[in-house]
Each structure stands twice: as C-alpha cells, then as structure tokens.
Structure 1
Amino acid sequence: MDLQILGVTEKAEKDEIVKAAMELKIAGIEDGYTAEVSAFRQALLVDVRDKLLFEQDYAGNTKEKVPPRSSLHIPWSWLPAALCILQEVGEETLVLDIGQAALRRPDSRPYVHDILLAMALAECSIAKASFEKSKVSLGFEALARAQYLLRRKPSLEKMPLLEQIEASLEELAPACTLELLSLPQTPENSERRRGAIAALCELLRQGLDVESSCRVHDWPCFLGQAINKLLATEIVDLLSWDTLATTRKNKRSLESQSQRVKVINCHILFGNWLHGYSFAS
C-alpha cells in the first residue's frame, strides 16, 4: 500500500514520489473529518515519502527488479488519515475493503466517524464515475450505500453531504428504476429487478398522493416505459386496484390538475394493457 497511498505506480521515480506527496500535502481535506485526521494525514504523507525515498526496504529497486522487503505499518490513530488519502488518489475499492475490515475490530471504535466518512466518500466517487459512463443504476446503488454508511453514525447524519445524497437519490429514482427494469431477466438480476419494482410501486404511491413530492416529471412517458418492461404478473401485482379506485374517487386528491392527469394516466395505461392482454389470451 506504500505506493498506492501516494497514487503512484511501482515504476515511479523519486521525483514523482516527491511531487505526489507535495500535491497531496497542499490539497484541501474534505469537510466532515475530525481535527486529528488533518494532522495525521500530513504526518503520514511525510513518513511515506521519506520511507520510499531513503529506506531501501520499503522502496525496493525497480531497475534491478528488487521488490520491497517491508510494508508500511500504520498505527490505528493514522488509519482514518490513510483512508482519507487513499480515497483522494482514487483507491476506492481499497478504502472500502480496509474500512470494512477495520470496522469489525474493537480497536476501530474511536475512529468509526472518520472511517465511515472515508468509505462514504469512496462510494460517492464510484457513483460519479458510474454516472460519467451513463450507468445510472450503478451510480444510484453506490449513492445508496454512501447514504447507509453516513446514517450509521449520528455525528455524520448532520452533514450536508447526506442531504445532497438523499436529494440526488430522489432525483435519480425514476431513471434508475427504468434502467434496472431493462436488465435481462436472469437469476443474477432477480434481486435488483425486485428492488426496481418496489421502487416503481413507491413512485406510483407518491404520484397518487398529492401531499408527497415525486420526481417523475412526465408521467405518461414514465408509466408507458415502465409497463413495457414488466411481465404480466408483475403488472397485476404492481398496484392495488382498490387503492387506485379510491384515489380516483377522492375529490381532495383530484383538486390538483396534475394529480388528475396522473390518476387518469394510470387508468388508461393499465386499462390498455388489460385490454391487449385479454385479446392475447
């Protein structure tokens, strides 16, 4: 992990190691970490830099193909700082693996806040990379994991980051639902599909409740796409017909013109599907 913590490769020259350590030292740390992390982060960067530059046991010799004989040993108090740096240099998987292993140890208790934050930020980086590749569902799932990590510690629940994640999850829910429903119906996708159907049910519930905020902006388009991706049995179980009928008759729910459109669209789409299904049968 010695070279990974600086974000350089095994073939890095000494000047590259110095430059990487310097850039990390002057870079700002993410908000939310405890005060100790910033100080330990600086000390760790200097320690790693010096060991790689001046101690052969840690650096090895790439030209003579001599591997390092020793690995960096980090005290518990420096672990959050190490995870912080690893997240900054793009080692998200390593952050998550080390963090999960550390949380299973009683020695980690004083550092849980910072460990969970580093893991949550790693998940946010994974989400960002997924969105850049137009993989909405993978990004959504990474943000959901980040949300779960932040909620594990009361001191993290007050962070603006959690509010931002939750707002993003609400905004992305419709697109993520459609993407997951489009996955091949194979055993390995069954759990994700069940989650997508549950999300679709929740979006429908929100859409039919005038007092709930719902992120679906084009209901006819969204419902049409969703219905086309469902099996017959899934459509039948998707929405309680009694609930839909009750909502249709509820004058208070229909005071909003947009709400009236949503309810009518549900009736039309489900009715058209049933009509076509009865002829196909």
Structure 2
Amino acid sequence: MRLAAITIDVDRDVNMPLPGRREAGSAPRDGNDTPRFASSTQGLSLIVELLNDMSIRGTFFLEADTARHIASEVNIRNMLRGHEIASHGHSHEDLTGKKTGVFIDIAEKANIIDKASQIIQELTGQFPKGFRAPYQNIDNTVLELLAERGYLYDSSITNSITNGRINPHALSSGLIEIPLAKGVDANGKSIHSYLWPMHEGKRQPGDYLDLLDQYDDGLLVLATHSWHIVETFTGPLSRSLIDSNLDNVRMILDEALEKGIEFITLDKYVEKFYY
C-alpha cells in the first residue's frame, strides 16, 4: 500500500540558529535577526486553503511561539479545523545544542515540551500526538520525554527509500518514528522529501514526482515550511512567485493522487497500524 502525508512546519520566518542563544531568530533583514512571523502567517493561510480545496488533510507541526503570534492575527483554531496538529517545539530551540552551542538539561527540555504542548492545546483545542524537532535535531532523552507525556510518534529523522519501501518503525521509547524520505533524482543526486529546495528554485515538481515513483510500499512524508510559500532565504516573493509555489505544491499532490497514492495524517497512520 502506498500512503503519503503532507506535513507543514509552522515556525518563525526564515528561522536560523543563533550561537549562544536557545531560541531561534529569523534571517537578518537590514541587519535585524529578531524573529518575524508575517510570512508564516500568510503562508499558513494559503496552504490550508490549498489543502482544503483538494480535500487533503495535512499534519501541521506548530512551533508554539509562532502559533501564538499567528493566533493574534487570525483564528488559528478555525483555520486548522479538520487537520492534524502536532508540535515543533516552543521557540524553535535546538534541543541537542548542536547548532547553538547551548546545553539544555533534561528538566528544561521537559519544560519546553510541556509549555509547547499546553500553548498548542489552548490555541487549537488539540493536544499534539506527534513531534518534529527543530532542525531535525533530536536525541534519546527527548524521545523518552515525549513518550512519558503521551506523545505517539516522532517525525524528525530521515531514512532512505530501500528496496521500494519507506516505513515507520517502533522505537525503544515506545514512540513510533515516522521518517522523512530520501531518494535519488534522475541525475543520481540525493533528494529529500522536504519541498523547500523547490521553493528556492533549486528543484522542480518533477523531481518530487520521481521520488514518489521510488517507493511501492509504506508512508512517504512530504514536508515544507509555511513561510517558504511566500519568502525565501533571500527575501519576500512577488505575488506571481507565491502563486507559482502554490501551483507547484498542487501539482505534486495532484500527481500523487493520480498515481493512486492515498494521503493520511500521521496520527491516523499510527492509530491505524499500531493501535
């Protein structure tokens, strides 16, 4: 059975780790790396509209602080009704400290997870069942903390499609790991199931359609950032380029459906196959 999921990381605009600081900033514009949220707000609205139009339910990994800023502008609970809500941390912290050099002890990791869960539930009415670590940086301590708090799965790591298969698997913590996918493009180069290189003009939709052809069984997780629909690493996009981004995402999802691939949210996958 070929299943797929479309997942959206809803985090601060063009987020970047800041050495010596736990919370992420935004890529500097005019020398200012203060977190911004306008592109994420706009992009979220646009991609939800697209998914609703296609009757596809997505999984939205909310960074709690970003969600709170978005909720001050729009009714995020109504906007995301019918979709899965998952957690992407509180302030896009690198929980391992690899990118920031900031050590976070177990108690503070627990506090970050708990605070994010509480805010997300208050804003959306859903307690998150899944987690994706900022920067995909995760360790066993975080996995254990998530399991202790009733989370069902993590989706932070990347696995290669092997022998036509890409499957979730159980972890020793009790969580299910639902990996992102990595394959090979037509030129023999590695390609990841994150769509952001396409938004940056470095990939075409056809590259991801080829990736979809590389698995015969399992769950292939596509991913993007809400802000990447309307802004790149180099700056905001024009309306025509925003529309092009949306058209490209629609093309990939449309073609996946044409290939007979069924879309499912990550929580429903876990509940269907593991509980």
TM-score by length of 1: 0.26
* Structure richer in strand, relative to its length: 2
**RCO (CA 8 Å, sep 6+): is it higher in 1 or 2?**
2
TM-score by length of 2: 0.27
* Structure richer in helix, relative to its length: 1
**Greater C-alpha radius of gyration:** 1
